[in-house]
Amino acid sequence: MTTSCTECGFDPAEWNDQDTARTLGRADYLLAHAVAGLPASLARAVDELASASGLPSTADGGAAGGGGTDRDAVHRLLHHVAAVAELRASAGDLPATQHGSVVRVNASGGGVPKRAVPEAVVGRRGLVGDRQRSRVHHGRPWQALCLWSADVIAALAAEGHPVIAGGAGENLTIDGIDWSALRSGLVLRVGEVRCRLSVPAEPCSNINGCFAGITSRRIDHDRHPGWSRWYATVLSGGVVRQGDVVVLAPR
């Protein structure tokens, strides 16, 4: 069994069979976002990484499919996603470093809305004491934190949507970061916590009430890039508090 990995955040002790099977079943989603917007000059290097890991190349469209309960396969997948991000960063394919702050820390005993708390301990599974109503589509370690932009929420409210901070289930509401610059693999420091963005969070019916027309598709990343919530893997935990500084992509 693979031991804890400091590079991609994989810790086998945090994974059960449901987490493993559902992550491998979403491998295509994770891989596709890892290479989204990939510069052509890096395509060959990324394909070589995929070949070495036994994963699909960019020419395959990032489709992995399948499933299973092989935790080592999950580690290879997550390690590859992190390696692609590091390769892109080393090649200078990074947004400018940005600084923002935590507007709210949000948690609940299950479901939405999540309520504001002054601070929370963050571990590999996310905020201690926070719960998902259902873990069928939530709660994997690469979904440990859900992040959203206070600036996006304000823009949606200006459109007439009845959305509020915490209403769509994000753990951390952040301002001052250009949400359109986010992509898979970027590292954020949030107070004491260091995390890596994994994929945009797909909207679901549980948050429909936050939107005019009773549909959350307004923040579907594929339809409206730059408006979605983001999931993140926790690389190193700590305490997060309202007002903490957020740094995007520190070198």
Q: What pTM, to 2 d.p., does this model score?
A: 0.90
* pLDDT, tens digit (0-9, with 9 covering 90-100), for 13-59: 888 898 999 999 999 999 999 999 999 999 999 999 988 887 755 44
In a domain, 3, yes or no: no
* pLDDT, tens digit (0-9, with 9 covering 90-100), for 120-138: 999 988 999 887 655 555 6
Q: Same domain, yes or no, for 192 and 232?
A: yes
Q: Which amino acid is at 49?
A: L
Nearest residue to 167 (alpha-carbon basis) of 180, 183, 159, 156: 156
Q: Same domain, yes or no, for 16 and 133?
A: no
Q: Same domain, yes or no, for 73 and 147?
A: no
Last-in-domain residue among 90, 120, 150 = 90
Coil, strand or helix: which one is 58? Answer: helix
Q: Same domain, yes or no, for 193 and 237?
A: yes
The rounded distance, in Å, linking the Cα atoms of 88 and 40 is 11
Q: DSSP string spanning 192-251?
A: TEEEEEEEEPPP-GGGGGGSTTS-GGGG-TTTSTT-S-EEEEEEE-EEEETT-EEEES--
CB of 208 closer than 8 Å to CB of 215: yes
- Pairing label, strands 172-175, 145-149: parallel
Q: What is the pLDDT of residue 55?
A: 72
The rounded distance, in Å, linking the Cα atoms of 90 and 86 is 6
Number of compact structural domains in the chain: 2
| pLDDT band at residue 1 under the 50/70/90 scheme | very low
| pLDDT band at residue 109 under the 50/70/90 scheme | confident
Q: Same domain, yes or no, for 72 and 168?
A: no
Crossing angle for the helix pair 71-90 and 17-25, to the nearest 10 degrees: 50
Q: Which two tokens stand for residue 90?
A: 């080393």
The rounded distance, in Å, linking the Cα atoms of 185 and 227 is 18
Q: Same domain, yes or no, for 168 and 217?
A: yes
Q: What is the pLDDT of residue 70?
A: 87
Lowest model confidence (mean pLDDT) among 54-58, 68-72, 92-96: 54-58
In a domain, 1, yes or no: no
* pLDDT, tens digit (0-9, with 9 covering 90-100), for 150-206: 999 999 999 999 999 999 999 999 999 999 999 999 999 999 999 999 999 999 889
Q: Same domain, yes or no, for 64 and 36?
A: yes
Q: Rounded mean pLDDT of 84-97?
A: 93
In a domain, 5, yes or no: no
Q: Same domain, yes or no, for 83 and 109?
A: no
Q: Which whole-number Å values give the CA distances from 164 to 105, 110, 226, in the listed order?
A: 13, 18, 18
Domain limits for position 85: 12-90
Last-in-domain residue among 52, 69, 90 = 90
Q: Same domain, yes or no, for 142 and 237?
A: yes
The rounded distance, in Å, linking the Cα atoms of 15 and 129 is 18
CB of 117 closer than 8 Å to CB of 107: yes
CB of 145 closer than 8 Å to CB of 171: yes
Q: Same domain, yes or no, for 223 and 107?
A: yes
